[in-house]
Chains A and B, each alone.
Chain A
């Protein structure tokens, strides 16, 4: 039953993971060989020195990345923590579950399993859904972008059919035939020895203890340290058993009398906790043998279903979701039960202290608690994963990260949801991921990722919604190419909303705005570029707060989802992509204004952020077309009062009113223009000055603005691959089958269609992702910050009043500085309630602030 008669568990296999692939020797750099360099770097006592060395050349970088685990200890803790949340491991339930599908819940229900590690059955592959991928969901796709773990290598089968059972600080425990401990960032796999015969547990829960949990420094010769605790039910008792990487073997079975039903654990200071009905089961893991710790036997209200309960940590706490009372509401009531010492008594005396909280989620409607399921608590980053309904998985994530929040839909079929957090070593190793990857990888990854950003609509929609482009295509090659197209005049006729306008107007006013404000990159998303929490409480800490709402002067509902998208991307410092009906310029200015109000981007960059190219017809996009129309951004990105970007028939021109950008604006040479932007029959526009715009004043573009088609080639100045995407690439994985998921088919040939008419097949997808759809689901999309119970500024909320911090801290950032009950009086009314309602904010700039606190 043993998988691979391989070496002892402490001798890791190393798969060909994206990190380990970088370790090849190259004869560049100095004469010093890699091992000597490694020895030198280890002598450095300042992480900054190490990082600067890594920035000298790629070989040195590789050497540093190789010893990331050692250097990571030097990293400032807040830096190592910032990017902790990385993604979610999950499996999708197969449409028709068959026995043996790696679905523990299914098995438990039917009681006909021979253990969670059933043999030889086909299960849906376990995949990692990077947090960054959630952003793509905003474009209306049905499935999150999942990265299968298998890489076609030696352990492909193992990884593909494994079931994630636990994860902690960079490591994930997978269950196939036996357990294995896997680090996806480095590719290391440790196979645990089989438990055979009597010792083999049937169903088990699992906890993982890693190096980070050990207080005293380990011997430096210990490169890998982990303990795996499994807990399982025998006929009359519950037993647990631990595996230690030091001894490379399973310990003896320790029995316990009760028969708890347990699932996910948290590990806190060497103790693994599982929620029980009235209390918690605690097993001390940081010793030679696991032993149970006595917990207060009662104190937790037991009327909660298990699915609504999760253990949090730092200070051990239960997080309970109270069902809403009947009517659908946007508020989730949380009950946090914190374990705290009772003062004046024996110090071992512990009791559960309850705190009430309320989580207001403006974008989400919760109908009943039946749908609500808490899934996972990410211990380092404080992220709580929960699903709502059969359709939705929402992720609550700290905004303070800068990664913001995102939501996934249609994840009701997810099984075995395990949140994955990088450890510091993984973070350090990922720092140079971009630099290490070749240009091909960039392109191919981009092709996979960005190629999915596509909206399409049917003819019917085109008639209904006049102002939406017939199709919008975002494809990829070396950058982002953005194609805005219309079908034809005839097809646009009859739009109710714009019936009063001339047809030429209709065509003109199809605009797609691209404001690339950095890279669409999870790595940089969390970089220290947002105003840090507490920096300036007066201003919104996150542009999303500012931008999550359309401006008052853009009443078109179509604007709204786009603005939503825009905000998400902007929040991730990605391409802010924005489409709007007229007045486009006002809208564009608004975006920039909003970003400006948010202090975006705070860091200075050398060089432009974005180059926009006109693209010759629909040729396959080239990485760098010769004629850049203009560049946005620059060294002095003191941002933006409104900037102007006007499209005229012959050229793209930038109009800088207050000149916040260092634009380089060039008109296309006439010769190139003809091929790129199809001239309008109206010659008026060509001779007309590009319109300007002040403030919020609306702008009516000139007639004959552009008639049929404009191909813009937008190239982010700094090509960057998302870490997650890189992971995908290096693991050589396949993109998700979109057809099955009823998302638009991606046919590369269709991208190359040379005219809107020929692009017609694009519109006959199985189930077009329309913006109407997006609108419907918009209320469900969510961004919530547990740190403040709001998607808005944590800092401003925190300043509001003191007792609130009790609850905030409880769910917040991993520092549960909860005050024992006797020290802090419960607030009057019994509950701490924070209601933040960005929807009702009148002014855009004020939206980030808490509006009412009751």
Chain B
């Protein structure tokens, strides 16, 4: 009996542990902890999937030193929302490099998700997505950023992205001259 009971307890603890492992705890650079479902994490992030498969997930919070808490919150938020939405098969299968994978237009909720972000938050998020290998999130955020660039003059782009112009005046003039057709609208 004792043995049996002990066995039962052991099973229970294992169950608890398994239940624990349904979620992954992620730790941001500033030490905040976030939980995300393991299934969503593995599906959406190639990096997390690799860590889960490789067993390098720390129950006390996997350290993601490169990602700030705000960005990580958005990532987790995205994962949760994504788990609620209907995952499309094409999305999952397309796990090629983000540079080359065929891009699918962001869905409505994804659009709203990125639209509410400030520029800084968006940039942080895209970096986090890049770091975690989240193809779809990267798609969506990059799409958003590219929309911010479209139809803008270099000056406007510099303003939006806070770029310091390191061209000399002559160089700029040269570029404008060569690419006159691309600068028609400013």
Binding site for B on A (CB under 8 A): 28-33, 35-36, 38-44, 46-49, 51-58, 60, 67, 70, 76, 79, 220-221, 431-432, 434-435, 523-524, 527-529, 603, 605-607, 717-720
Contact of B174 among A42, A220, A718 (CB under 8 A): A718
A637 to chain B, nearest CB (A): 12
Contact of A524 among B96, B101, B178 (CB under 8 A): B178
Are A717 and B149 in contact, with the CB atoms below 8 A?
A: no
CA distance A46 to B163 in the complex (A): 21
Are A719 and B170 in contact, with the CB atoms below 8 A?
A: yes
Known: A29-B163, A434-B171. A605 touches B149 (CB 8 A): no
Are A56 and B163 in contact, with the CB atoms below 8 A?
A: yes
Are B149 and A36 in contact, with the CB atoms below 8 A?
A: no
Count of chain A to chain B residue pairs whose CB atoms are closer than 8 Å in the complex: 135
Determine the chain A residues whose CB is within 8 A of the CB of B179 once the complex forms. 51, 55, 431
- In the complex, which of the residues B163, B169, B178, B184 has the most CB atoms of chain A within 10 Å of its own CB atom? B178
Are A435 and B165 in contact, with the CB atoms below 8 A?
A: no
With both beta carbons as reference points, the residue of chain A lying nearest to B122 in the complex is identified as: A32
CA distance A70 to B166 in the complex (A): 25
CA distance A48 to B167 in the complex (A): 19
Given A529-B177, A606-B173, output 20 extra A-B contacts at Cβ < 8 Å.
A28-B163, A30-B163, A32-B123, A32-B127, A36-B138, A36-B142, A39-B138, A48-B181, A48-B183, A53-B154, A55-B167, A57-B166, A220-B101, A221-B96, A434-B171, A435-B175, A524-B177, A524-B178, A605-B173, A605-B177
B44 to chain A, nearest CB (A): 17
Determine the chain B residues whose CB is within 8 A of the CB of A53 once the complex forms. 149, 154, 157
CA distance A60 to B161 in the complex (A): 11
Binding site for A on B (CB under 8 A): 96-103, 123, 126-127, 130, 138, 142-143, 145-146, 149-154, 157-158, 161-167, 169-184
Are A44 and B150 in contact, with the CB atoms below 8 A?
A: yes
Determine the chain A residues whose CB is within 8 A of the CB of B152 once the complex forms. 49, 52
CA distance A662 to B163 in the complex (A): 34
Determine the chain A residues whose CB is within 8 A of the CB of B96 once the complex forms. 221
Are B182 and A57 in contact, with the CB atoms below 8 A?
A: no
Contact of A221 among B97, B161, B176 (CB under 8 A): B97
CA distance A603 to B100 in the complex (A): 38
Are A36 and B173 in contact, with the CB atoms below 8 A?
A: no
Known: A28-B166, A49-B149, A57-B166. A39 touches B142 (CB 8 A): yes
CA distance A722 to B157 in the complex (A): 28
Determine the chain A residues whose CB is within 8 A of the CB of B163 once the complex forms. 28-30, 56-57, 60
Are B99 and A435 in contact, with the CB atoms below 8 A?
A: no
Are A527 and B142 in contact, with the CB atoms below 8 A?
A: no
Are A718 and B173 in contact, with the CB atoms below 8 A?
A: yes
B2 to chain A, nearest CB (A): 59
Are B175 and A46 in contact, with the CB atoms below 8 A?
A: no
B132 to chain A, nearest CB (A): 13
Contact of B176 among A46, A55, A57, A432 (CB under 8 A): A55
Known: A29-B164, A57-B166, A79-B181. A43 touches B146 (CB 8 A): yes
A163 to chain B, nearest CB (A): 34
CA distance A47 to B170 in the complex (A): 23
With both beta carbons as reference points, the residue of chain B lying nearest to A437 in the complex is identified as: B171
Q: Which 4 A-B pairs have the closest CB atoms?
A: A43-B146, A48-B182, A51-B182, A435-B171
Determine the chain B residues whose CB is within 8 A of the CB of A31 once the complex forms. 123, 127
B114 to chain A, nearest CB (A): 13
Are A35 and B177 in contact, with the CB atoms below 8 A?
A: no
Determine the chain B residues whose CB is within 8 A of the CB of A32 once the complex forms. 123, 126-127, 145, 161
Are B175 and A55 in contact, with the CB atoms below 8 A?
A: yes
Are A39 and B173 in contact, with the CB atoms below 8 A?
A: no
With both beta carbons as reference points, the residue of chain B lying nearest to A51 in the complex is identified as: B182
Determine the chain B residues whose CB is within 8 A of the CB of A39 once the complex forms. 98-99, 130, 138, 142
Contact of B157 among A38, A56, A717 (CB under 8 A): A56
Known: A56-B154, A56-B157. A33 touches B178 (CB 8 A): no
Contact of B165 among A38, A48, A57, A221 (CB under 8 A): A57
Determine the chain B residues whose CB is within 8 A of the CB of A47 once the complex forms. 182
Contact of A720 among B100, B162, B174 (CB under 8 A): B174
Known: A434-B174, A603-B180. A57 touches B149 (CB 8 A): no
With both beta carbons as reference points, the residue of chain A lying nearest to B145 in the complex is identified as: A40
With both beta carbons as reference points, the residue of chain B lying nearest to A26 in the complex is identified as: B166
Would you mind naming 17 contact pairs between A and B with Cβ atoms under 8 Å apart? A30-B162, A30-B163, A38-B99, A39-B99, A39-B142, A49-B150, A49-B151, A52-B149, A52-B182, A56-B163, A57-B166, A57-B167, A221-B96, A221-B97, A524-B177, A607-B169, A607-B170
Known: A52-B154, A435-B171. A523 touches B182 (CB 8 A): no
Determine the chain A residues whose CB is within 8 A of the CB of B126 once the complex forms. 32, 36
Known: A31-B123, A52-B154. A76 touches B181 (CB 8 A): yes
CA distance A70 to B154 in the complex (A): 21
A514 to chain B, nearest CB (A): 19
Are B130 and A36 in contact, with the CB atoms below 8 A?
A: yes
A29 to chain B, nearest CB (A): 5
CA distance A40 to B149 in the complex (A): 9
CA distance A57 to B164 in the complex (A): 7
Are A58 and B166 in contact, with the CB atoms below 8 A?
A: yes
Are A43 and B142 in contact, with the CB atoms below 8 A?
A: yes
Are B143 and A43 in contact, with the CB atoms below 8 A?
A: yes
CA distance A58 to B150 in the complex (A): 19
Are B130 and A35 in contact, with the CB atoms below 8 A?
A: yes
With both beta carbons as reference points, the residue of chain A lying nearest to B169 in the complex is identified as: A607
CA distance A651 to B98 in the complex (A): 63
Determine the chain B residues whose CB is within 8 A of the CB of A524 once the complex forms. 174, 177-178
Contact of A607 among B138, B150, B173 (CB under 8 A): B173
Determine the chain B residues whose CB is within 8 A of the CB of A57 once the complex forms. 158, 163-167
Determine the chain A residues whose CB is within 8 A of the CB of B138 once the complex forms. 36, 39
CA distance A796 to B100 in the complex (A): 46
Determine the chain B residues whose CB is within 8 A of the CB of A42 once the complex forms. 99, 142
Determine the chain B residues whose CB is within 8 A of the CB of A48 once the complex forms. 181-184
Determine the chain B residues whose CB is within 8 A of the CB of A528 once the complex forms. 180-181
Determine the chain A residues whose CB is within 8 A of the CB of B130 once the complex forms. 33, 35-36, 39
Contact of A28 among B146, B164, B178 (CB under 8 A): B164
Determine the chain B residues whose CB is within 8 A of the CB of A603 once the complex forms. 177, 180
Determine the chain A residues whose CB is within 8 A of the CB of B145 once the complex forms. 32, 40, 43
A529 to chain B, nearest CB (A): 8
Determine the chain A residues whose CB is within 8 A of the CB of B171 once the complex forms. 434-435
